[in-house]
Amino acid sequence: MSTDPLDELDFGILHLLQEDARHISPVDMEDELPVSDTTIRNRIEKLEDRGIIEGYVPLIDYEKAGFPLRVKFVCTAPVKERAKLAEEALELHNVVDVEEMLSARENVRIMVVTNHSEDLHEVTERIDDLGLTIEREGLVRRIHRRPFNHFGEHMVSWK
């Protein structure tokens, strides 16, 4: 596996994929970047092999999908157990996202989605059973996202 640093072309590909990976193909990227679609395909494959591109995941509006209760739990795990507990938390029913933070307290953040308060009560108990201390929890109103916008933005639309 290569440890070579990414170049401007790699960053340009990442920039385009972040904007809309579902609707852009290497052929489309060829119009935006100064190389052929074959070169772009090869670069994407290398980025995947190196683990830089970990996968392609849809962004779901859980409320529109019928899961209006979205709760973010901020928890504390013993530092030596943080990684293990974060992985175990991700396996819990209704958990869709776990963030492992580099801090002594409030070092695991868990996003839960559900459409029933009873499910929320159950997952709260399961989080506690894992050995995580729930510091606080909050109902999420809306999540605003944007891709990191400094990947090769000057490389795109070169023609």
Q: CB within 8 A of 6, min separation 6: which ones? A: 14, 52
pLDDT grade for 153, boundaries at 50, 70 and 90: low
Specify if 60 maps to a domain.
no
Specify if 55 maps to a domain.
no
- In the predicted structure, residue 155 carries a pLDDT above the cut 80: no
Specify if 158 maps to a domain.
no
Q: Do 158 and 33 contact (CB within 8 A), yes or no?
A: yes
pLDDT tens figures, 99-133: 999 999 999 999 999 999 999 999 999 999 999 99
Q: Please check whether residues 43 and 76 belong to one and the same domain.
A: no
- In the predicted structure, residue 159 carries a pLDDT above the cut 60: no
pLDDT at 3: 77
Specify if 57 maps to a domain.
no
pLDDT tens figures, 133-144: 999 999 999 888
Which range marks the domain in which residue 96 is found? 69-139
Specify if 95 maps to a domain.
yes
Residue with tokens 């891709």: 147
Specify if 149 maps to a domain.
no
Q: Please check whether residues 82 and 40 belong to one and the same domain.
A: no
pLDDT tens figures, 12-69: 999 999 888 999 999 999 999 999 999 999 999 999 999 999 998 888 999 999 999 9
Helices (H), 31-154: 37-49, 82-90, 117-130
